[in-house]
Amino acid sequence: MRAARFKAKQGINNLMKVIVNVPLHVTSIWLPRYTNDPMTTGSLGAGIVIRPGLVMTIEGGEGTMGLRHIDEVLRRYNVNAVVKYETQAPLGFGYGMSAALTLGTALGVAALLRKPLLEAAQVAHEVEVNLGTGLGDVIAEFYGGGIEIRVKPGAPGVGVIDKIPYPNNLVILTHEFTREDTNVMLLRLRDKLEVLGKEFMGEIMREPTYENFVRLSMEFSRRIGFLTRDIEDNVRPCIKYLDGYYVKKGVLVLITHRDKADEASQCLSERGIHVRRFKPSDAGAWVRITH
Protein backbone atom coordinates (compact mmCIF):
# COMPACT_ATOMS: atom_id res chain seq x y z
CA MET A 1 0.00 0.00 0.00
CA ARG A 2 1.33 3.46 -0.95
CA ALA A 3 0.95 6.27 1.58
CA ALA A 4 1.07 10.02 1.25
CA ARG A 5 1.00 12.10 4.40
CA PHE A 6 0.15 15.77 4.70
CA LYS A 7 0.45 18.29 7.49
CA ALA A 8 -2.85 19.04 9.27
CA LYS A 9 -4.54 22.39 8.85
CA GLN A 10 -8.30 22.04 9.17
CA GLY A 11 -9.84 19.84 11.83
CA ILE A 12 -10.56 16.30 10.72
CA ASN A 13 -12.04 13.93 13.27
CA ASN A 14 -9.04 11.71 14.02
CA LEU A 15 -11.25 8.83 15.11
CA MET A 16 -12.80 8.58 11.67
CA LYS A 17 -11.41 6.84 8.65
CA VAL A 18 -12.95 6.86 5.20
CA ILE A 19 -12.60 4.09 2.63
CA VAL A 20 -13.22 5.11 -0.95
CA ASN A 21 -13.57 2.77 -3.92
CA VAL A 22 -13.07 4.38 -7.29
CA PRO A 23 -13.37 2.45 -10.56
CA LEU A 24 -11.01 3.12 -13.46
CA HIS A 25 -12.09 4.40 -16.85
CA VAL A 26 -10.75 3.64 -20.32
CA THR A 27 -12.18 5.93 -22.96
CA SER A 28 -12.46 4.48 -26.43
CA ILE A 29 -13.83 7.47 -28.38
CA TRP A 30 -13.43 11.04 -27.29
CA LEU A 31 -13.73 14.64 -28.38
CA PRO A 32 -12.06 17.23 -26.10
CA ARG A 33 -14.18 20.32 -25.40
CA TYR A 34 -12.24 23.24 -23.94
CA THR A 35 -13.81 26.37 -22.46
CA ASN A 36 -12.36 29.08 -20.22
CA ASP A 37 -13.97 27.37 -17.21
CA PRO A 38 -12.70 23.96 -15.98
CA MET A 39 -16.26 23.09 -14.89
CA THR A 40 -17.54 23.17 -18.46
CA THR A 41 -14.31 21.84 -19.97
CA GLY A 42 -14.42 18.09 -20.53
CA SER A 43 -14.95 15.57 -23.26
CA LEU A 44 -17.75 14.04 -25.24
CA GLY A 45 -17.18 10.37 -25.88
CA ALA A 46 -17.67 6.81 -24.78
CA GLY A 47 -15.70 4.34 -22.73
CA ILE A 48 -15.80 1.55 -20.17
CA VAL A 49 -15.77 2.12 -16.42
CA ILE A 50 -14.03 -0.90 -14.89
CA ARG A 51 -13.54 -2.55 -11.50
CA PRO A 52 -11.62 -3.39 -9.40
CA GLY A 53 -10.17 0.10 -9.45
CA LEU A 54 -8.60 2.01 -6.65
CA VAL A 55 -9.14 1.50 -2.93
CA MET A 56 -8.15 4.53 -0.86
CA THR A 57 -8.18 5.19 2.86
CA ILE A 58 -8.20 8.74 4.09
CA GLU A 59 -7.83 9.77 7.72
CA GLY A 60 -6.64 12.70 9.78
CA GLY A 61 -2.92 13.00 10.47
CA GLU A 62 0.29 14.60 9.32
CA GLY A 63 2.92 13.59 6.84
CA THR A 64 4.94 14.24 3.75
CA MET A 65 4.03 15.23 0.19
CA GLY A 66 2.82 12.77 -2.44
CA LEU A 67 1.35 12.93 -5.93
CA ARG A 68 0.61 16.52 -6.97
CA HIS A 69 -3.06 15.72 -7.68
CA ILE A 70 -3.55 14.53 -4.09
CA ASP A 71 -1.61 17.49 -2.78
CA GLU A 72 -3.75 19.90 -4.77
CA VAL A 73 -7.03 18.45 -3.47
CA LEU A 74 -5.80 18.74 0.13
CA ARG A 75 -4.68 22.30 -0.53
CA ARG A 76 -8.14 23.15 -1.93
CA TYR A 77 -9.80 21.80 1.23
CA ASN A 78 -7.07 23.25 3.45
CA VAL A 79 -6.69 20.00 5.38
CA ASN A 80 -4.06 17.59 6.51
CA ALA A 81 -4.76 13.93 5.93
CA VAL A 82 -3.06 10.59 5.57
CA VAL A 83 -3.93 9.16 2.17
CA LYS A 84 -3.19 5.53 1.31
CA TYR A 85 -4.10 3.70 -1.84
CA GLU A 86 -4.00 0.26 -3.38
CA THR A 87 -4.54 -0.66 -7.00
CA GLN A 88 -3.46 -3.29 -9.48
CA ALA A 89 -3.25 -0.98 -12.50
CA PRO A 90 -0.39 1.47 -13.15
CA LEU A 91 -0.42 5.28 -13.43
CA GLY A 92 0.16 6.98 -16.77
CA PHE A 93 -0.97 4.28 -19.20
CA GLY A 94 -4.55 5.42 -19.81
CA TYR A 95 -6.66 3.83 -17.08
CA GLY A 96 -7.82 7.24 -15.85
CA MET A 97 -5.72 6.57 -12.77
CA SER A 98 -4.80 10.19 -12.11
CA ALA A 99 -8.52 11.02 -12.06
CA ALA A 100 -9.24 8.07 -9.75
CA LEU A 101 -6.58 9.21 -7.27
CA THR A 102 -7.85 12.80 -7.40
CA LEU A 103 -11.51 11.80 -7.08
CA GLY A 104 -10.80 9.30 -4.30
CA THR A 105 -8.93 11.89 -2.26
CA ALA A 106 -11.60 14.54 -2.77
CA LEU A 107 -14.46 12.18 -1.85
CA GLY A 108 -12.60 10.92 1.21
CA VAL A 109 -11.77 14.37 2.51
CA ALA A 110 -15.31 15.61 1.82
CA ALA A 111 -16.78 12.69 3.77
CA LEU A 112 -14.47 13.42 6.72
CA LEU A 113 -15.46 17.09 6.66
CA ARG A 114 -19.17 16.28 6.14
CA LYS A 115 -19.17 18.18 2.84
CA PRO A 116 -21.19 17.24 -0.27
CA LEU A 117 -19.71 14.52 -2.45
CA LEU A 118 -20.88 16.17 -5.66
CA GLU A 119 -18.85 19.26 -4.75
CA ALA A 120 -15.85 16.98 -4.10
CA ALA A 121 -16.22 15.38 -7.52
CA GLN A 122 -16.27 18.87 -9.03
CA VAL A 123 -13.06 19.78 -7.18
CA ALA A 124 -11.45 16.59 -8.56
CA HIS A 125 -12.59 17.42 -12.10
CA GLU A 126 -11.13 20.94 -11.83
CA VAL A 127 -7.81 19.61 -10.55
CA GLU A 128 -7.62 17.08 -13.41
CA VAL A 129 -8.45 19.71 -16.02
CA ASN A 130 -6.03 22.25 -14.55
CA LEU A 131 -3.18 19.72 -14.46
CA GLY A 132 -3.99 18.63 -18.03
CA THR A 133 -4.34 14.95 -17.05
CA GLY A 134 -8.01 14.28 -17.76
CA LEU A 135 -11.24 15.60 -19.27
CA GLY A 136 -13.94 12.96 -18.99
CA ASP A 137 -12.49 10.53 -16.47
CA VAL A 138 -13.77 12.08 -13.24
CA ILE A 139 -17.42 12.24 -14.36
CA ALA A 140 -17.26 8.66 -15.69
CA GLU A 141 -15.61 7.25 -12.56
CA PHE A 142 -17.94 9.17 -10.23
CA TYR A 143 -21.14 7.92 -11.86
CA GLY A 144 -20.08 4.55 -13.33
CA GLY A 145 -22.63 3.12 -15.69
CA GLY A 146 -20.52 0.31 -17.15
CA ILE A 147 -20.29 1.33 -20.77
CA GLU A 148 -20.81 5.07 -20.61
CA ILE A 149 -21.41 7.77 -23.15
CA ARG A 150 -20.60 11.38 -22.31
CA VAL A 151 -23.32 13.39 -23.99
CA LYS A 152 -22.46 16.78 -22.46
CA PRO A 153 -18.91 17.70 -21.38
CA GLY A 154 -17.94 18.96 -17.96
CA ALA A 155 -17.66 18.21 -14.27
CA PRO A 156 -20.21 16.01 -12.47
CA GLY A 157 -23.35 18.09 -12.06
CA VAL A 158 -22.54 20.03 -15.23
CA GLY A 159 -21.69 17.36 -17.78
CA VAL A 160 -24.11 14.53 -18.55
CA ILE A 161 -23.45 10.80 -18.78
CA ASP A 162 -25.71 8.25 -20.41
CA LYS A 163 -25.36 4.44 -20.40
CA ILE A 164 -25.09 1.95 -23.21
CA PRO A 165 -26.75 -1.34 -22.22
CA TYR A 166 -24.33 -4.26 -22.40
CA PRO A 167 -24.57 -8.05 -22.06
CA ASN A 168 -24.43 -9.81 -18.71
CA ASN A 169 -21.14 -11.31 -17.55
CA LEU A 170 -18.96 -9.05 -19.64
CA VAL A 171 -15.25 -9.35 -18.83
CA ILE A 172 -12.68 -6.72 -19.75
CA LEU A 173 -9.09 -7.85 -20.22
CA THR A 174 -6.31 -5.27 -20.48
CA HIS A 175 -2.65 -5.22 -21.36
CA GLU A 176 -0.23 -2.28 -21.11
CA PHE A 177 2.24 -1.17 -23.76
CA THR A 178 3.88 2.17 -23.02
CA ARG A 179 3.29 5.17 -20.78
CA GLU A 180 2.49 8.58 -22.14
CA ASP A 181 1.46 11.67 -20.17
CA THR A 182 -2.08 12.71 -21.04
CA ASN A 183 -1.18 16.35 -21.69
CA VAL A 184 1.50 15.25 -24.20
CA MET A 185 -0.95 12.85 -25.88
CA LEU A 186 -3.75 15.45 -26.09
CA LEU A 187 -1.43 17.97 -27.72
CA ARG A 188 0.01 15.41 -30.13
CA LEU A 189 -3.47 14.29 -31.28
CA ARG A 190 -5.33 17.60 -31.04
CA ASP A 191 -6.25 18.04 -34.72
CA LYS A 192 -7.04 14.36 -35.33
CA LEU A 193 -9.23 14.21 -32.23
CA GLU A 194 -11.24 17.21 -33.37
CA VAL A 195 -12.08 15.55 -36.70
CA LEU A 196 -12.39 11.90 -35.66
CA GLY A 197 -13.98 12.69 -32.30
CA LYS A 198 -16.80 14.59 -34.02
CA GLU A 199 -17.33 11.90 -36.66
CA PHE A 200 -17.39 8.97 -34.21
CA MET A 201 -19.37 10.76 -31.52
CA GLY A 202 -22.02 11.53 -34.14
CA GLU A 203 -22.13 7.87 -35.17
CA ILE A 204 -22.40 6.44 -31.67
CA MET A 205 -25.11 8.97 -30.75
CA ARG A 206 -27.20 7.92 -33.75
CA GLU A 207 -27.38 4.34 -32.45
CA PRO A 208 -25.90 3.87 -28.96
CA THR A 209 -25.87 0.07 -28.87
CA TYR A 210 -23.28 -2.35 -27.48
CA GLU A 211 -22.50 -3.68 -30.97
CA ASN A 212 -21.90 -0.17 -32.30
CA PHE A 213 -19.80 0.73 -29.26
CA VAL A 214 -17.49 -2.24 -29.92
CA ARG A 215 -17.28 -1.65 -33.67
CA LEU A 216 -16.74 2.12 -33.43
CA SER A 217 -14.21 1.81 -30.57
CA MET A 218 -12.07 -0.51 -32.68
CA GLU A 219 -12.34 1.75 -35.71
CA PHE A 220 -11.62 4.95 -33.76
CA SER A 221 -8.48 3.50 -32.20
CA ARG A 222 -7.28 2.33 -35.63
CA ARG A 223 -7.87 5.72 -37.22
CA ILE A 224 -6.31 7.68 -34.35
CA GLY A 225 -3.21 5.47 -34.67
CA PHE A 226 -3.27 3.60 -31.32
CA LEU A 227 -4.38 0.26 -32.76
CA THR A 228 -1.63 -0.70 -35.19
CA ARG A 229 -1.44 -3.51 -37.74
CA ASP A 230 1.15 -5.30 -35.54
CA ILE A 231 -1.16 -5.33 -32.54
CA GLU A 232 -4.08 -6.55 -34.66
CA ASP A 233 -1.98 -9.33 -36.23
CA ASN A 234 -0.99 -10.48 -32.77
CA VAL A 235 -4.55 -10.44 -31.37
CA ARG A 236 -6.29 -11.93 -34.43
CA PRO A 237 -5.71 -15.64 -33.57
CA CYS A 238 -7.67 -15.05 -30.34
CA ILE A 239 -10.58 -13.20 -31.95
CA LYS A 240 -12.95 -16.16 -31.51
CA TYR A 241 -12.87 -15.51 -27.76
CA LEU A 242 -13.46 -11.76 -28.09
CA ASP A 243 -16.30 -9.37 -29.03
CA GLY A 244 -13.72 -6.78 -29.96
CA TYR A 245 -10.75 -4.74 -28.73
CA TYR A 246 -9.36 -1.23 -28.80
CA VAL A 247 -6.32 0.71 -27.68
CA LYS A 248 -6.44 3.92 -25.67
CA LYS A 249 -3.03 5.58 -25.14
CA GLY A 250 -0.93 2.70 -23.70
CA VAL A 251 -3.75 0.28 -22.81
CA LEU A 252 -5.07 -2.53 -24.98
CA VAL A 253 -8.67 -3.32 -23.98
CA LEU A 254 -10.15 -6.69 -24.97
CA ILE A 255 -13.86 -7.33 -24.49
CA THR A 256 -15.00 -10.86 -23.75
CA HIS A 257 -17.49 -12.85 -21.64
CA ARG A 258 -17.13 -14.83 -18.42
CA ASP A 259 -17.38 -18.22 -20.18
CA LYS A 260 -14.62 -17.31 -22.66
CA ALA A 261 -12.34 -15.17 -20.49
CA ASP A 262 -9.95 -17.96 -19.40
CA GLU A 263 -9.44 -19.22 -22.94
CA ALA A 264 -9.02 -15.65 -24.18
CA SER A 265 -6.37 -14.94 -21.51
CA GLN A 266 -4.55 -18.18 -22.29
CA CYS A 267 -4.59 -17.54 -26.04
CA LEU A 268 -3.38 -13.96 -25.58
CA SER A 269 -0.63 -14.89 -23.12
CA GLU A 270 0.71 -17.46 -25.61
CA ARG A 271 1.22 -14.46 -27.89
CA GLY A 272 3.01 -12.42 -25.21
CA ILE A 273 -0.09 -10.40 -24.30
CA HIS A 274 -0.37 -10.85 -20.53
CA VAL A 275 -3.63 -9.47 -19.27
CA ARG A 276 -5.33 -8.03 -16.23
CA ARG A 277 -8.99 -8.91 -15.67
CA PHE A 278 -11.81 -6.47 -14.88
CA LYS A 279 -15.61 -6.18 -14.95
CA PRO A 280 -17.68 -3.17 -15.96
CA SER A 281 -18.50 -0.94 -12.98
CA ASP A 282 -22.12 0.08 -12.81
CA ALA A 283 -21.84 1.63 -9.39
CA GLY A 284 -19.14 4.23 -9.92
CA ALA A 285 -17.30 5.58 -6.87
CA TRP A 286 -18.51 4.81 -3.36
CA VAL A 287 -17.53 6.01 0.09
CA ARG A 288 -17.70 4.23 3.46
CA ILE A 289 -17.03 5.86 6.81
CA THR A 290 -15.51 3.69 9.57
CA HIS A 291 -14.77 4.54 13.19
Ligand X SMILES: CC(C)(COP(=O)(O)O)[C@@H](O)C(=O)O
Ligand Y SMILES: Nc1ncnc2c1ncn2[C@@H]1O[C@H](COP(=O)(O)OP(=O)(O)O)[C@@H](O)[C@H]1O
Q: Does 182 bind ligand Y (CB under 6 A)?
A: yes
Per CB under 6 A, residues contacting ligand X are 27, 30, 43, 45, 94-96, 98, 133-137, 182, 186, 249
**Binding span for ligand Y by CB under 6 A among 87-95, 156-164, 202-210, 238-246:** 87-95
Q: Does 265 bind ligand Y (CB under 6 A)?
A: no
Residue 136 binding result from ligand Y, ligand X, none, given CB thresholds of 5 to 8 Å by partner type: ligand X
Residue numbers 35-74 binding ligand Y by CB under 6 A: 67
Q: Does 157 bind ligand Y (CB under 6 A)?
A: no
Q: Give whichever of 53 and 96 is closer to ligand X, judged by the CB atom.
A: 96
Select the residue interacting with ligand Y from 32, 42, 60, 96 (CB under 6 A): 96
State in angstroms the smallest separation of the CB of 103 from ligand Y: 11
Q: Does 97 bind ligand Y (CB under 6 A)?
A: yes
Pairing of strands 147-152, 42-59: antiparallel
| HEC letters along the chain | CEEEECCCCECCCCCCEEEEEEEEEEEEEEEEECCCCCCCCEEEEEEEEEEEEEEEEEECCCCCCCCHHHHHHHHHHCECCEEEEEECCCCCCCCCHHHHHHHHHHHHHHHHCCCCHHHHHHHHHHHHHHHCCCCCHHHHHHHCCCEEEEEECCCECCEEEEEECCCCCEEEEEEECCCCCHHHHHHHCHHHHHHHHHHHHHHHHHCCCHHHHHHHHHHHHHHHCCCCHHHHHHHHHHHHHCCEEEEECCEEEEEEECCCHHHHHHHHHHCCCCCEEEEECCCCCEEEEEC
Residue 6 binding result from ligand X, ligand Y, none, given CB thresholds of 5 to 8 Å by partner type: none
State in angstroms the smallest separation of the CB of 288 from ligand X: 25
Select the residue interacting with ligand Y from 94, 104, 136, 146 (CB under 6 A): 94
State in angstroms the smallest separation of the CB of 168 from ligand Y: 29
Interaction mask 104-143, ligand Y, x per CB under 6 A: ---------------------------x-xx---------
Distance, CA of 151 to CA of 141 (rounded, Å): 15
CA–chain centroid gap for 37, Å, is 21
Residue 67 binding result from ligand Y, ligand X, none, given CB thresholds of 5 to 8 Å by partner type: ligand Y
Q: Does 5 bind ligand Y (CB under 6 A)?
A: no
State in angstroms the smallest separation of the CB of 274 from ligand X: 20
Residues that bind ligand Y (CB under 6 A): 67, 91-99, 131, 133-134, 181-182
